[in-house]
Amino acid sequence: TLSPTQELYAFGNVGGRETEGGFFYRNPNSRSGVYTAGDIRAVVDTNIRRGDTNVISNCPALTSPGSGGGGSLDPALVAADALALANLPANCWVLNQILPGGYTPQFGGTLEDASIVGGMRGEFENGLLYDFSASFGRNAVEFFLNNTWSPSFGPDGIVGGELQRDFDIGEYSQSETNFSADFVYPLDVAAFASPLNIAFGAEWRDEVFQVRVGEERSWAAGRFAFQSGNGTNFYNDGTTPLPDLSIGAHGFAGFSPSQAGKFGRSNYAVYGELEADIVENFTMAVALRFEDFEDFGDTTNGKIAARWALTDSFAVRGSASTGFRAPTPGQSNVTKVSTTTIDGELQQRGQIPPTNPIAQSLGAAALEPEDATNFTAGLVWDVSDSISLTLDYFNIDLEDRISQTGSIVIADRPVPSNQNCPIAQANPFASLADCLQELGVPGASDLNSVSFYTNDFETTTQGLDFVATWNTDFGDAGNGVLTAAWNWTETEVNAVGIEVSRNRIVDLENFNPETRGIFTYNHFLDKWRFLVRASWYGDWIVGDYSGDPGFVDPSDPNWSRDNPVFSIDCTVPNDKCYDGDWLFDLEVAYDFTDNWSAVVGGQNIGDNFGPVDQDNLDGTIGSGNTYDQSTAWGQDGGFWYVRLRADFD
């Protein structure tokens, strides 16, 4: 405190965390680009050098048992396969020799988060309140991928007698710097029932998104990425082309130099708000904000809100406003390659920037800001001294909504004549995936599909929020608070672009449960506190219709950009339709002193892992997941914890 009307303040935080989780299992009899090339074992010839063409190898073309069209895992076929692998010529190599049982990559990251805020606030002699502040925050995640390998290096990836299995795949970081000045002045106005509260201020912000390059073998192409010689190098049968193996750490290729970089922007804003009791029990507020972005220009948005207390215990409230959200530097610039499931099968999918030439050939454009129109209406009712209720309705219309397109297949998609793709000039069978590889995205030639952020959505989201609170008193047995919170939210896609997949539209409308309820009871008895919580998640649907071509065909007579309606097919293996369920939490706390307490608790004590992945029910190999990834509450089951807490005055 500098004086009775002025003080300096500062606070901050430093935190860190490391997480690791399993990716999809790689089947040693069917994983294409790693163990197989179609139905044939992915045998590599170590005698072939990068750039060799018209080679007939002495390596045999071995049909893999259990692959897509390679027969079943019949014991006789398995024995014959094992014998053939054991008798390969010395220059012929296959991953089964090192990892015969397959593998499951382990993806993780080390997170570091830090921020600091400082400022000065106080009051001038004329009654004007002020707050000058500055802040800086940075969040960085260093990614790693373990228990995998870089297929295109093949046996060249063996270092010191062991195949390299662990990779540093790079880092994402986001930093923000803010300076702001805020003022509040209460002005007596005879016409109003209260002083007119005048608030205004200005803000400047700078944000930077940075991608750091991963270690070279996590993204670089080894010599076996091009072993086929564009289809001119063959196994010893003279007709089956040698395989090209996947590029990059398998599961999540590292960030290459062409993906890395620093992307930033700055913006400033000025804003003001007026609030007063116009008459007794009727409060009204209006606000206006002007903001100018370095990359998107300026925008002006406003809000009007009111609250009317009809009685001492009952009031109604509402608001109307416009909104604006600029895309983040990350959304505009991120590139990554990872493994996903499409129709229950493992496939490589890439996310590319909307400014990438391949994305633009598919209809993408540089991202623009979102615009929103918002309405709310609600009521507050103190039923008694111990019971209170609130009910609010909200409606949000979004134009130019930013979202991913969904999977757009590029593996077999021909290169448009206007696409600058030199590889297509040399190879008439080149696909858009090959062009993407040529543009510097590691592993792109192995991609089945891509997605990118787009503004091509218009949606309406509406919902209800209901909260009821009951304070109880049991005398010597203590007191408690029972809270019931229930939400219903519905999103409808009003219009989309032609590059948006049918499954993505279904997900936007149905991926999250429309209803959710949380019922919590806290009981206090002397130094003890007891908590019981029940959470309800409603039904949800994952768009997974196998007939989805990856993009909407504008020539389809059933399709309309302004009426993107699709029926849901819940029969396996089409859309995944899941029933809602309950989760339960318990917690007990004890206060040793005013400053020290201990807490023991459990979340999801019923160990609910969510529904079984329906891809495992259609008779195919599937992803190897037991539980579906779309589970509303995750697939990690129960979580138990013990905490010791200290409060320092």
What CA dihedral angle connects 414, 416, 421 and 423, to 10 degrees?
Answer: 30
Q: How many CB atoms lie within 10 A of CB 172?
A: 19
Q: Region 294-317: what's the mean pLDDT?
A: 93
Q: Region 183-195: what's the mean pLDDT?
A: 93
pLDDT of residue 166: 96
pLDDT of residue 71: 43
Contact 610, 623 (CB under 8 A): no
Q: Region 257-277: what's the mean pLDDT?
A: 92
DSSP state of 242: P
List of residues 6+ apart from 631 with CB closer than 8 A: 578, 609, 610, 611
d(C-alpha 5, C-alpha 277), whole Å:
27
Q: Region 232-257: what's the mean pLDDT?
A: 89
Contact 493, 459 (CB under 8 A): yes
Contact 560, 514 (CB under 8 A): no
Residues 426-479 pLDDT 10s: 565 566 677 776 666 665 666 667 778 888 788 999 999 999 999 999 988 999
Long-range interactions of 563-566: CB distance < 8 A, separation 24+: 564/493, 564/494, 564/495, 564/496, 564/500, 564/505, 566/502, 566/505, 566/506
Q: Which residue has the higher pLDDT, 257 or 553?
A: 257
Contact 143, 251 (CB under 8 A): no
d(C-alpha 372, C-alpha 71), whole Å:
55
Mean pLDDT of the chain: 86
Q: Region 53-74: what's the mean pLDDT?
A: 77
d(C-alpha 159, C-alpha 623), whole Å:
30
pLDDT of residue 536: 97
pLDDT of residue 461: 96
Q: Is the pLDDT of residue 424 over 50?
A: yes
DSSP state of 241: B
pLDDT of residue 90: 93
For every residue of 186-216, DSSP letters joined together read EE--TTSSSPEEEEEEEEEEEEEEEEEPPPG
Q: How confident is the model at residue 70 (pLDDT cuts 50, 70, 90)?
A: very low
d(C-alpha 131, C-alpha 118), whole Å:
10
